[in-house]
A = this chain, B = another copy of it.
Amino acid sequence: MAHSGKLLFELFVMFAGAKLLAEIFERLRQPTVIGEIIAGMLLGPSLLGLVHPDEFNLGVAEVGAIFLLFVVGLETKPRDLMKVGGTATLVATSGVAIPFILGFLYVRAIHHILVESIFVGAAMVATSVGITARVLADLGVLQTRAARVILAAAVLDDILGMIVLAVVSSLSTGKIHYASLITVSVEAVLFSLLVIVLGPRVVGRAGPVIAKVRMQNAAFILSIILCLGLSLAFVYIGMAAIIGAFLAGLALAEYSEAWKLQENAHPIYEFLAPFFFVMLGVQIEIKSLATPGLLPIIVVISVLAIISKMIGCGLGAAQLGWKDALRVGIGMVPRGEVGLIVAAVGLNLHTISDAIYAVVLFMSMITTLFAPPALRLVLRRAPGKAM
């Protein structure tokens, strides 16, 4: 019973706190998602100490992120995504190259060892699409051209990020296994393409099968199974679970209305997603900012992380005109938990120091906090045309 009390206490303060701050931010005309992250910062170990990251609340946060991307996927039709495929490829590629080079050069310049420089560069590569997806959904602009480029590029970006992670992970052992690297990359690309291209067709033919299932609300139940299954499959091939959830939503998007999927998945997203954002805040360790000499490095790295993604992705999206290019650039800025994963790998392999780990942590956080207000600013003025 005592355990049950702790668990429910954390759920209650996280949900109520997230919604209280979301309401305040709504009234201040600021992105509500920032309110939820700040609720986490307040509740977390650094300040009030009411919520501590543990297996349960981190797990709930992950399931929240999965339903967030699933719902976004349900609103995105694959054929619309394919239309922006060329631009998205450019955006993802130059959005990976430029941050890596700038991050690497700066850390190398301030006299850090080669492996550490490569790790910081790698942590600056990956985009966390969760934050951006939430802002796009909140503003109701998921159907705009910029939003579609961002979502498509995020999928590709995750594939590229995974390749970079595989390369840097192998650095600690001294040699790079090119064969396994190529296998993993090809697997990831093929699997993603398979889901995007074949997914909707397979789902389209599932109609008669679903009609035969006797349980209530069968289409929705089966769509959850697909969502969890693809999330798991993507973790197995070394990618983020949320990309699998997004692709599951994508595969079901054409039938979302007929099968009432959006209607059913949305309340689950509304209940669980706040835990994802609150836990992002809970995990921010404010006191590590006090380490001497760290602050300037954090500031420079964060500014580089923001500028390099905006330039890299913006250049990739240049053909859309400077307004949409700016939107895409800003939308790709948040590193969120993806940067943290890279840093955690480095820390676990003992290839980066605690100080560099803290730098990556704050860079992830600052880019995450930067994107929502900036994105809102450039999206609100002129929401762009739907394709």
Note all chain B residues with C-beta closer than 8 A to A52.
none
> Among the listed stretches A16-24, A38-46, A289-297, which one makes contact with chain B, having 4 or more residues with CB under 8 Å of it?
A16-24
* Bound Cα distance A268, B265 (Å): 8
Asked whether any CB of chain B lies closer than 8 Å to the CB of A350, the reply is no
Note all chain B residues with C-beta closer than 8 A to A32.
215
Asked whether any CB of chain B lies closer than 8 Å to the CB of A347, the reply is no
Note all chain B residues with C-beta closer than 8 A to A224.
15, 271
The interface bits of chain A over 270-293 (1 if a CB of B lies within 8 angstroms of the residue's CB, else 0) are 110000000000000000000000
Q: In the complex, which of the residues B8, B220, B271 contacts A235, with contact meaning CB atoms closer than 8 Å?
A: B8
Note all chain B residues with C-beta closer than 8 A to A15.
224-225, 228
A59 with B215, Cβ < 8 A, contacts A12-B232, A15-B224, A16-B228 known = no
* Bound Cα distance A7, B55 (Å): 9
Interface size of A in residues (CB-CB distance below 8 Å)? 47
A5 with B59, Cβ < 8 A, contacts A214-B27, A229-B16, A271-B268 known = no
* Bound Cα distance A19, B225 (Å): 9
- Say yes or no: A5 contacts B267, CB within 8 Å: no
Q: In the complex, which of the residues B1, B8, B214, B341 contacts A26, with contact meaning CB atoms closer than 8 Å?
A: B214
* Bound Cα distance A20, B34 (Å): 40
Asked whether any CB of chain B lies closer than 8 Å to the CB of A9, the reply is yes
The interface bits of chain A over 205-242 (1 if a CB of B lies within 8 angstroms of the residue's CB, else 0) are 00000000111010011001100110110011010010
- Say yes or no: A221 contacts B8, CB within 8 Å: no
- Say yes or no: B215 contacts A8, CB within 8 Å: no
The interface bits of chain A over 63-100 (1 if a CB of B lies within 8 angstroms of the residue's CB, else 0) are 10000000000000000000000000000000000000
- Say yes or no: B59 contacts A221, CB within 8 Å: no
Note all chain B residues with C-beta closer than 8 A to A265.
267
Note all chain B residues with C-beta closer than 8 A to A27.
214
- Chain B nearest CB from A376 CB (Å) reads 16
* Bound Cα distance A1, B27 (Å): 37
Residue of B nearest to A165 (CB): B1
- Chain B nearest CB from A252 CB (Å) reads 15
A12 with B267, Cβ < 8 A, contacts A7-B59, A215-B19 known = no
Asked whether any CB of chain B lies closer than 8 Å to the CB of A4, the reply is yes
Asked whether any CB of chain B lies closer than 8 Å to the CB of A62, the reply is yes
* Bound Cα distance A224, B266 (Å): 14
Closest CB pairs A-B (n = 3): A56-B59, A264-B267, A12-B228
11 CB contacts below 8 A, A to B, read: A4-B241, A7-B59, A8-B228, A8-B231, A11-B63, A12-B231, A26-B214, A54-B55, A56-B59, A60-B63, A220-B267
A1-B235, A8-B235 are known; give 7 further A-B pairs, CB within 8 A.
Answer: A8-B231, A12-B225, A19-B225, A22-B215, A60-B63, A217-B270, A267-B267
